Structure 1
Amino acid sequence: MSKQLESAAALPVTPPPDVAPPPKKQPYPFWLGGVAATIAASITHPLDLTKVRMQATGDKGMVQSLRKTVRTAGYRGLFDGISGTWLRQMSYSLCRFWAYDESKKIVGAGKDAPAWKLALAGSMAGGIAGFIGNPGEIMMVRLQGDFAKPPEKRLNYKNCIDGMIRMIREEGWSSLGRGLGPNVFRAVLMNASQLASYDFFKAELLKTSYFEDNIQVHVAASFAAGTVATTVCSPADVIKSRIMTATAAEGSSSLQVLKRSFQNEGAMFMFRGWVPAWTRLQPTTILIFVTLEQLKNLVDWTRAWQGAQ
């Protein structure tokens, strides 16, 4: 027996064959986030329309505002300004998802990154997207809020393209930057709270033994992210909407709008429309992230199918 062991030990050891490292996963198309956000915003557009009208015109009560819209413009009125929503999502949202992924690389926010790194990456993405998406934001707010105004004060834009052309012609190129400061500030808050908290909550849920990376986790993480984002962003969202809908005759600077709102309504005006904002942002956040995750799965499936051919 000992001789057999000695002979076996004397045999040359054949090194294992070289194992090729797994191929590096290709990045997802940069436009996936914009498409996911456009789909989600199209579905929840009536709620967003109601939120903007409550913030801009002082309508009290979400149900009352919805009824007013249907009474004055019919059920089609619930989708007033949908072209502005599409423009906004395919500029602002497309940019923020792309910039968030790139910012995470810059700050080194990997799979189990701490919350502060995710928030920093989200803030960087929000600043970039808020600047680039400001014209689309103006169009969305103006188109949504137009029919809530008296007929003599309406802008009557046909769609977002007509609105952009008319705004530049009538108000100058500088009008594209109206409300830029509050919009960028809100975008920083939104992305630091929504995108970062989604990644944070998703990672925390996956650390437990009760969850796997599936639609249940995506819904739970996005629900928590939507609540955080609504509360953090409400003041900036209200101020931004009022500045963008204000005319030069009323006084449209940030200071004038703030002073007028504080005098007329007190500090709680900054949380006006919180319930419709939460009601709108929750399904929107869930739809965005669930749709985005499914689009990523579709890309993975397509690449696997193409590789098998």
Structure 2
Amino acid sequence: MSISDPNRISFAQSFLCSAFAACFAEFCTIPLDTAKVRLQLQKKGSVGVDEDGGGMGLPKYRGLLGTVKTIAREEGVYALWKGIVPGLHRQCLYGGLRIALYDPVKTFLVGAAFVGEVPLYHMILAALLTGALAITIANPTDLVKVRLQAEGHLPSGVPKRYSGAMDAYSTILKHEGLGALWTGLGPNIARNAIINAAELASYDQVKQTILKIPGFMDNALTHLLAGLGAGLFAVFIGSPVDVVKSRMMGDPSYKNTFDCFLKTLFNEGFLAFYKGFLPNFGRVGAWNVIMFLTLEQAKGVFRG
């Protein structure tokens, strides 16, 4: 079943399916997201030691598997799921809203009487709007998730700032104010609107294209290929704003989005905006495959 299937279920059912699929995908892939955040927060010149005590001068985190291994060794396997509680909060709100609203907004843009394949630019516009709206509501959950994931990035001996998700929410409110929960909203809106457009519009488009190939049907294989395509588009387009968002949320030293962008560009070069690209694609690609496969099956249950 396609997200754009004309035989649509109700908004409430769609929200439940979307929230469940997004949360399930989040739980399965958050270790890769934690690795991605650590790589993005790692600044030029950061060093670490290898297992034998050597390797000074080398980056502490190197590559997807290397970063996962380092985190597990130094902080325990559980650390790979740091931020899972606000991550699930985020996916329930953000994932549920952005996906469930996509069809209604798309229908609004083309008109209820429209018949045929929705033009790509309408798909993109609908996904941009729903992504921006959903993340505006869910930004506090995203902030707490990144803050918790960044805890292990603190220098040795520095005490942890938060004991858990709820403590993080209350501590930020108490010491930084309500507005602080929307820190990084600008790049977060840009990042999530763009990635949402890349994911949902490309999933629709790739799936439509695959189904035109003789022998392909609306089944798990098609959903898997379309999900991988959506993940690739999302990471390639969204990586620069994703890096800026992670740095602003994880490091309060930046004055604003523009300051973070300029310091990253001038201090580390343009390629810094694609730090963690492979683990990001590994995570987003896997996330999209799991999410869309789960979503299609969940919607199928409601459709009977």
Q: Normalised by the size of structure 2, how large is the TM-score?
A: 0.86
Q: Note closer, same or farther for the CA distance 1:55–1:110 as it changes in structure 2 (3 Å cut).
A: farther
Residue 257 (1) aligns with residue 260 (2):
yes
CA distance in structure 1 between the aligned counterparts of 2:146 and 2:300, rounded to whole angstroms: 33
Residues 104, 118 of structure 1: 8 Å contact kept: yes
CA contact under 8 A between 2:9 and 2:303: conserved in structure 1?
no
Match of 1:246 among 236, 247, 251: 251
Cα 1:25/1:226, change in 2 over 3 Å? closer
Higher relative contact order (CA 8 A, sep 6+): 2
2:164 aligns with 159
Pick from 63, 68, 71 the counterpart of residue 70 of structure 2: 68
How far does the alpha carbon of each residue in 1:274-301 deviate from its partner, in whole angstroms, 9 at most, with x for none? 0000011111000000000010112223
% identical equivalent positions: 32
Q: Is residue 57–residue 149 contact of structure 1 (8 Å, CA) maintained in 2?
A: no
Q: Aligned partners of 1:148, 1:110: CA distance in 2, in Å?
A: 52
What is the match of residue 94 of structure 1?
A: 96
**Any gaps of 5 or more consecutive residues in structure 2?**
1-6, 44-60
2:276 corresponds to 1:276: no
1:68 and 1:284 map into 2 onto residues whose CA distance is 22
Once the two structures are TM-superposed, the CA of residue 120 in structure 1 deviates from its matched residue by 0.9
**1:112-169 per-position Cα deviation (integer Å, ceiling 9, x unaligned):** 1121111111111111012111111101111111112124555432222221111011
CA contact (8 A) 2:9 2:302 kept: no
Q: Distance in 2 between matches of 1:178 and 1:151?
A: 26
| The 10-residue stretch of structure 1 (152-161 or 53-62) with the greater mean CA deviation from structure 2 | 152-161
Q: Report the secondary structure of 2:218's partner residue.
A: coil
Corresponding residue of 2:28: 43
Partner residue of 1:220 out of 201, 219, 225: 225
Q: Which residue of 2 aligns with 1:33?
A: 18
Residues 146, 154 of structure 1: 8 Å contact kept: no
Q: Give the secondary structure class of the aligned counterpart of 2:117.
A: coil
Equivalent residue, structure 2, for 1:172: 177
Distance 1:129 1:106, change over 3 A: same
Instruction: Give the structure 2 partner of residue 137 of structure 1.
Output: 142
- What SS does the corresponding residue of 2:134 show, helix, strand or coil? helix
Work out whether 1:104 is the aligned partner of 2:109: no
Q: How many corresponding residue pairs? A: 276
**Mapped partners of 2:264, 2:284: distance in 1:** 24
Amino acid at match of 2:251: A
CA-to-aligned-CA distance 1:150-192 (integer Å, 9 cap, x gap): 2455543222222111101110011011100000001110111
Cα separation, partners in 2 of 1:267 and 1:119, compared to 1, 3 Å: same
Does the CA contact (< 8 Å) of 2:248 and 2:260 recur in 1?
Answer: yes
C-alpha distance in structure 2 between counterparts of 1:57 and 1:215, whole Å: 37
- The whole-number CA distance in structure 2 between the counterparts of 1:168 and 1:271 is 32
1:292 pairs, out of 276, 287, 295, with 295
Distance (whole Å) between structure 1 residues aligned to residue 156 and residue 273 of structure 2:
27
Aligned-partner Cα distance in 2 for 1:155–1:268? 30
Name 1:191's counterpart in structure 2.
Answer: 196
Deviations 1:180-221 (A, max 9, x none): 000000111011110111011111222232211111111111
d(CA) in 2 for partners of 1:259, 1:267 = 10
State how far apart, in whole Å, the 2-side matches of 1:294 and 1:29 are.
12
For 2:163 and 2:297, locate their aligned partners in 1 and report how far apart those are by CA, in whole Å: 34
**Aligned partner of 2:32: which letter?**
L
Show structure 1 runs of 4+ deviating over 3 A: 151-156
Larger displacement relative to structure 2 (147-156 or 260-269): 147-156
- Once the two structures are overlaid, the 10-residue window that deviates more, 67-76 or 283-292, is 67-76
Residues 110, 170 of structure 1: CA spacing in aligned structure 2 closer, same or farther, 3 A cutoff?
farther
Instruction: Please say if residues 87 and 160 of structure 1, whose CA atoms lie closer than 8 Å, have aligned partners that are also in contact.
Output: no
**1:101 partner letter:** D
Tell me the CA shift for residue 83 of structure 1: 0.9
Alignment counterpart, residue 121 of structure 1, candidates 85, 105, 126: 126
- Code of the aligned partner of 1:38: C
| Residue aligned with 2:215, SS | coil
1:230 aligns with 2:235: yes
- Relative to structure 1, the CA distance from residue 234 to residue 129 in structure 2 (aligned partners, 3 Å threshold; closer, same or farther) is same
- For 1:233 and 1:169, locate their aligned partners in 2 and report how far apart those are by CA, in whole Å: 32
